[in-house]
Amino acid sequence: MLRSLRVLRGLLLAALTVSICAFAPSAHAQSSAESLAVSSPAAAAALVAAPAPDRLAQAYASFTPENRAYARIRVALRLLGPWYGVLAGLFLLFSRLSARFRDVAYGLGKRLYVRVLVYFTLYTLAMFLLSLPLAWYEEYAVEHQFALSTQSWLGWLGDSLKGVVFSIVVLGVVPLLALAWSSIERQPRRWWLWLAAGTLPVALAAVLLQPLVFDPLFHRFTPLPDSPLRHQLLDLAARAGIPARHVYEIDMSTTTRKLNAYVNGFGASQRIVLWDTTLRAMKTDEILFVMGHEMGHYALGHIWKFVLFLGAGAYLVFFLVAQVHAWCVRRFGALWLVDSVADLAAMPMLAIAISLVMLAATPALNALTRATEHEADIFGLELTHDTDAAERAFLQLAEGNRSDPDPPRWIELLLYDHPPLAARIRFAHGYKPWESGQKPRFYPQAQAKGVSAPR
Ligand SMILES: [Zn+2]
């Protein structure tokens, strides 16, 4: 996703709630997902013809030197990217630009709301400019170098600017940030409790509104066109207990060649969205499995569980953020011309503290999302009974994704929010409780319907 959006999401702590539910690993998904190396009819036919055990070998074979190079760059970017953001924030502090932004904000307004809005606008624009080289490399240059992006330079820049304006509007004009700042001003020791308490409603609102307000800024959503596939998908959704009006197609082909599908939103806005690239490249039974996986997220309530988890975890996160923030301001404040944690010019330090704490929490959060992704895989298998289609769908990803199907353990722990593809293929290959009469874990009808589950 866009860098500017990451700033917004980091501040709201809502990032995780909206990125957990894609089919493909997010390291390679959303803005930078998986192209389809295997989209030629001949390659696809070879895939179907291959006996299942060979698919694992195919997954390894698909990790060509070119894909390895792409994966290496992405791993480096994922590892170093957050530190680049930290450095950019430190630059604003040590160069005293942040102090200057505060002075401009104080010169332009008397009310806290106006001052926060002016400061935050300057800060966001400065961070956008400082981050632009890396964002351009990560989201545009690399994606074009490996022929994964279909977006023009101007299109990419336009989307990035839209993201900046969106974060200024949401955090600045909606008085969220001013509210947060007034709590820091009033309670310089216990402000973190207020921000933690505010996280749950803000995350809920963000998740609820994302599909309605944010997503349509960048892409067009349409209900699936009338076709045999649509009927099969709606039949599958009905069996999983999901209303048909919640299944959409999104025109991702305007920006990427990669494949994915996801579920987001909350309550009435919750929806399952298929990338049009996936619709075009995958076979019907593979799409049905991918959707079965997404329906697993939906039916197992992964989104609201994650929102609740964030709401509770926010107390620990903001407590630690407050300690780091206070210590750094005490230690370096004089150098930055920042006199207290409530000084507007300290905002970059607050963002840095949030980044550092979230970085430390990432391995635990990834372990959690890997577990929920595994649950969704199980649900998809129990819903479709189609382990073969699942393996093919995973393999399509392994090839299109250019991700390492079997990464070193430390990379998996640090970066993977989905199980690695080899693990997913291996699991799908052996998971057939309906054949051995075992109890299914998540989809109760699986056993009752027996081996002849509808496809
Ligand atoms: Zn998923």
Q: How far is the CA of 293 from the centre of ligand 1 (A)?
A: 6
pLDDT at residue 109 in the model: 85
Tens digit of pLDDT per residue, the chain (455 long)?
Answer: 333 334 444 444 433 333 445 666 543 333 322 222 333 344 455 555 555 568 888 888 888 888 889 989 999 999 999 999 999 999 999 999 999 999 999 999 889 999 999 999 999 999 999 999 999 999 999 999 988 888 899 999 998 998 888 888 887 777 888 888 999 999 888 999 999 999 999 888 888 888 888 888 888 989 888 889 888 988 998 898 887 777 889 998 888 888 888 888 877 788 888 899 888 889 999 999 999 999 999 889 898 898 999 999 999 999 999 999 999 999 999 999 999 999 999 999 999 999 999 999 999 999 999 999 999 999 999 999 999 999 999 988 877 778 888 899 999 999 998 999 889 999 998 898 888 888 888 887 644 444 444 44
Q: Is residue 378 part of a domain?
A: yes
Distance of CA 169 from the midpoint of ligand 1 (Å)? 30
Distance between CA atoms of 254 and 152, rounded to whole angstroms? 9
Residue 127 lies in a domain: yes
Residue 271, strand partner residues: 264
Distance of CA 26 from the midpoint of ligand 1 (Å): 9
Cross-strand partners of 261:
274
* Interval between CA 19 and ligand 1 midpoint (Å): 9
- The alpha carbon of 88 and the centre of ligand 1 are apart by a number of angstroms equal to 32
Examine residue 257 and state whether it is found in any structural domain, yes or no. yes
CA of 297 to the centre of ligand 1 (A): 7
Task: For residue 374, report the distance from its CA to the centre of ligand 1, in Å.
Answer: 8
CA–centroid distance, residue 33 to ligand 1 (Å): 14
Q: 246 lies in a domain? A: yes
Quote the ligand 1 centre to 308 CA distance (angstroms).
18
Residue 169 lies in a domain: yes
Sign of the CA dihedral running 169, 173, 178, 179: negative
CA–centroid distance, 172 to ligand 1, in Å, is 32
HSE (side-chain half, CA atoms, 13 Å) at 226: 0
- Structure-derived torsion over alpha carbons of residues 442, 247, 386, 43, reported in degrees to the nearest 10: -140
Cα 372 to averaged position of ligand 1 atoms, centre (Å): 7
Q: Is residue 249 part of a domain?
A: yes
DSSP structure class, residue 62: T
C-alpha 285 to ligand 1 mean position (Å)? 17
Sheet holding 271-275, edge to edge: 221-223, 247-250, 271-275, 261-264
CA of residue 143 to ligand 1 center, whole Å: 23
Tell how far the Cα of 290 is from the centroid of ligand 1, in angstroms. Answer: 9
Distance 148 CA to ligand 1 centre (A): 21
Angle made by CA atoms 318, 320, 326, in degrees to the nearest 5:
95
How many Cβ atoms from other residues are within 10 Å of residue 441's Cβ? 14
Distance 62 CA to ligand 1 centre (A): 22
CA of 218 to the centre of ligand 1 (A): 22
Q: Supply 268's token pair.
A: 């009435």
Residue whose token pair is 């820091």:
184
Residue 375 CA to ligand 1 center (angstroms) comes to 9
Instruction: For residue 433, report the distance from its CA to the centre of ligand 1, in Å.
Output: 21
Cα–ligand 1 centroid distance for 54 (angstroms): 24
C-alpha of residue 120 to centroid of ligand 1, in Å = 34
Q: Is residue 454 in a domain?
A: no
Q: Report how far ligand 1's centroid is from the alpha carbon of 141 (Å).
A: 27
Task: Note the pTM of the prediction, 2 decimals.
Answer: 0.83
Q: Which residues contact 306 (CB under 8 A, 6 or more apart)?
A: 16, 17, 20, 372
Does residue 347 sit within a domain? Answer: yes
Domain count, the chain: 1
Distance 22 CA to ligand 1 centre (A): 4
How far is ligand 1, taken at its centre, from the CA of residue 270, in Å?
14
Q: 324 CB contacts (<8 Å, ≥6 apart)?
A: 353, 356, 357
> How many angstroms does the Cα of residue 294 sit away from the middle of ligand 1?
6
C-alpha 7 to ligand 1 mean position (Å): 23
**What's the chain's average pLDDT?**
83
What's the domain range around 42?
Answer: 3-449
In whole angstroms, what is the distance from residue 143 CA to residue 140 CA?
A: 5
Report the separation in Å between the CA atom of 355 and the middle of ligand 1, taken as the mean of its atom positions: 24
Give the Å distance between the CA of 23 and the centre of ligand 1. 4
